[in-house]
Amino acid sequence: MPVPLLDLKAQYLELKPELDAAIGTVMENAAFVGGPKVAELEASIAKYCGVEHAVACGNGTDALFLIMAALGVGPGDEVVTTPFTFFATVEAIVHTGAMPVFVDIEPGTYNMDVSMLEAVVTERTKVIMPVHIFGQCVDMDPLLELAEARGAYVVEDACQAIGATYKGRPAGSLGHASAFSFFPSKNLGCAGDGGVVTTNDGDLAAKVRKLASHGTSKKYFHDTFGVNSRLDALQAAILLVKLPHLDRWNSERRAAAAVYDELLADVASLELPVSREFGEAVYHLYIVKAASAEEAERVMSALKEAGIGTALYYPLALHEQEALEELEGFVAPSLPVAESCDARTFALPCFPGITTKQQEEVARTVRGVLA
């Protein structure tokens, strides 16, 4: 029985009549960039995340960049983040001219180890950027307290965590501003690229909006140099159809994760994801860690042979990436927990609608190699 890592076509078929109608309406209205659908989406996302402002943009990477640009982050500044995330996080930092500074991660959650922040925050730290990796929130309260004491902004990379909560508060409402991605594979995905910035700071929201649209707030008059990063009306229309289903999809992901937790509990050499009691995770990915890269390779080969989708997340920590060598003044730190994940942490299929039979097949295949 083949099991994909993610089934985007099934999600389309589930909502086909509504999606097709929404797309048709945009085509007929012929307002393609920005416009009322995008404004409606922004209002819906702000409400969903419990914040006052949402500003749509071209993708999650731009959302991160635009927030930092609006905060005035630039050369001479440092941005503290995690090495265990998608490359976009550090790319957005580097494009502001700031220097990325990495702290190690916790085993099990793979999130930034907040207890290590104190040691790397300096007077140059302008932003602390937690990434809610795989859909579970970073332990935000101690992070926020430290940031406040040291005068740093907190920018959440919530690209994998829409719908997750921390002590009852939604991801995207915890720091000064947050970035979400609507890339198709994210928990709330559109049919292409898309992103949004959320914040309670009205001035910041206005700056992000201006920067995302060529530095203009009045057409053909430019107060500053911006970029072109806007959301298409088609994507907004698609997201508006999907948003009301997000909480149900996220609980299906949580339920599927609980099934794996049980099916794989006694596989001694496999580390299952740890879920912290302070919030609800949304399992953007269900990540397991093998005892060695070689063992991960053997399990992944068996899965692929059985037609089961899997992939390494992430094969190489960011501070070890070749691109970082281009950065003048960057000295790669030693981050043993993050490095211990290289080529060892991989995803098992965990998407809304996955059946118990499919999960049993996945577990059987994994156990066939390790148990």
Ligand X SMILES: *Cc1c(COP(=O)(O)O)cnc(C)c1O
Q: Which is nearer to ligand X, 125 or 229 (CB)?
A: 229
* Residue 352 identity (one-letter amino acid): P
Question: φ and ψ at 156, to 5 degrees?
Answer: -80, 130
Cα torsion through 362, 366, 369, 371, rounded to 10? -120
Amino acid at 98: A
Residue number with CB closer to ligand X (162 or 299): 162
Nearer to ligand X, 110 or 183 (CB): 183
Whole-Å CA distances, 361 to 179, 309, 365: 36, 12, 6
- Rounded Cα distance, 141 and 45, in Å: 23
Identify which of residues 85 and 235 has a Cβ nearer to ligand X in the complex: 85
Q: How far is the CB of 221 from ligand X (least distance, A)?
A: 29
Taking Cα atoms as reference points, which of 297, 274, 268, 290 lies closest to residue 341?
A: 290
Give the list of residues 6+ apart from residue 57 with CB closer than 8 angstroms, or none.
63, 66, 194, 195, 196, 197, 208, 212, 229, 230, 231
Nearest distance, CB of residue 299 and ligand X, angstroms: 23
Q: Which residue is nearest to ligand X (CB)?
A: 60
Q: Name the minimum Å distance from CB 133 to ligand X.
A: 7
> What is the closest distance, in whole angstroms, from the C-beta atom of residue 43 to ligand X in the complex?
21
Binding site for ligand X (CB under 6 A): 59-61, 85-86, 88-89, 131, 157, 159-160, 181, 183, 193, 195
**Number of residues assigned to the chain:** 371
Compare residues 175 and 195 and give the one whose CB is closer to ligand X.
195
Task: Write down the least CB distance from residue 323 to ligand X, Å.
Answer: 15
130 contacts 295 by C-beta, under 8 angstroms: no
Tell me whether residue 165 or residue 181 sits nearer to ligand X (CB atom).
181
CA distance 301 to 308: 10
Distance CA 67, CA 73 (A): 9
Q: At its nearest, how many Å lie between ligand X and the CB of residue 96?
A: 15
Amino acid at 89: T
Q: How far is the CB of 310 from ligand X (least distance, A)?
A: 18
**Beta carbon of residue 93, minimum distance to ligand X (angstroms, whole number):** 11
CA pair distance 193, 357, nearest whole angstrom: 33
User: Which of residues 56 and 366 has its CB atom nearest to ligand X in the complex?
Assistant: 56
Which lies closer to ligand X via its Cβ, residue 139 or residue 157? Answer: 157
Directed axis angle between helix 246-263 and helix 356-370, to 10°? 30
As beta bridge partners, residue 63 has: none
